[in-house]
């Protein structure tokens, strides 16, 4: 049931992202201080033209206001840089945030891979337990490493291979799976 009329309020996509809260508050503060200083400078100029005795104190306070306005603009810049270093990614290879994000991503991947390996080993142990086979204890491996293959003739007196891992007992002509 369209009447063909346009709605009163139409949202349009914004060209830029919204500033982070600390940066936005610093920017609003800087704009207010700069606007008040500009108004103060115009009033001081008009008082000077009128020859009022209030012109001199107003000029001095305008100079102080200019220093404060400059300081507040620098505060916006510093706040923006600090926020980017802590939370955002600067488009530079030396960005602290990018390095931290990369380290977290690598840690998550390593944890997922370790979880997958644990699940695979548990499944293999359950499968072999159902078949009645004995599964040799495997040495803990790092993710991505292949299990060590030790020839039968190179076993030491303890029954372990070169790396201290228990030797794989091949039974019934089957290959052991890692």
DSSP letters for 43-86:
HHHHHHHHT-TTHHHHHHHHHHHHHHHHHHHHHHHHHHHHHHHH
pLDDT at 14: 74
* DSSP state for residue 149 in the 8-state scheme: P
- pLDDT tens by residue, 88-139: 665 566 666 778 888 899 999 999 999 999 999 999 988 888 887 665 555 5
pLDDT at 80: 92
- Stretches where the chain sits below pLDDT 70 are 1-3, 88-96, 133-178
pTM of the predicted model, to two decimals? 0.44
- Is residue 30 within 8 A of residue 72, CB to CB? The reply is yes
pLDDT at 160: 47
pLDDT at 11: 77
pLDDT at 27: 96
pLDDT at 1: 54
pLDDT at 54: 93
pLDDT at 8: 82
Distance between CA atoms of residues 88 and 80, nearest Å? 10
């Amino acid at each position: 049931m369209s009447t063909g009329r346009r709605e009163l309020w139409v949202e349009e996509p914004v060209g830029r992202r919204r500033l982070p809260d600390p940066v936005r508050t610093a920017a609003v503060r800087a704009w207010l201080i700069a606007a008040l200083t500009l108004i103060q400078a115009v009033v001081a100029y008009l008082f000077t033209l009128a020859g009022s005795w209030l012109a001199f104190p107003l000029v001095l306070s305008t100079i102080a206001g200019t220093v404060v306005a400059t300081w507040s603009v620098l505060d916006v810049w510093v706040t923006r840089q600090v926020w980017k270093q802590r939370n955002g990614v600067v488009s530079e290879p030396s960005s602290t945030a990018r390095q931290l994000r990369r380290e977290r991503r690598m840690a998550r991947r390593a944890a997922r891979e370790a979880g997958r390996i644990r699940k695979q080993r548990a499944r293999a142990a359950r499968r072999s337990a159902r078949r009645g086979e004995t599964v040799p204890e495997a040495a803990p491996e790092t993710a991505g490493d292949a299990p060590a293959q030790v020839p039968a003739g190179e076993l030491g007196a303890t029954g372990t291979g070169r790396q201290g891992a228990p030797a794989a007992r091949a039974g019934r002509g089957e290959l052991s799976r890692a």
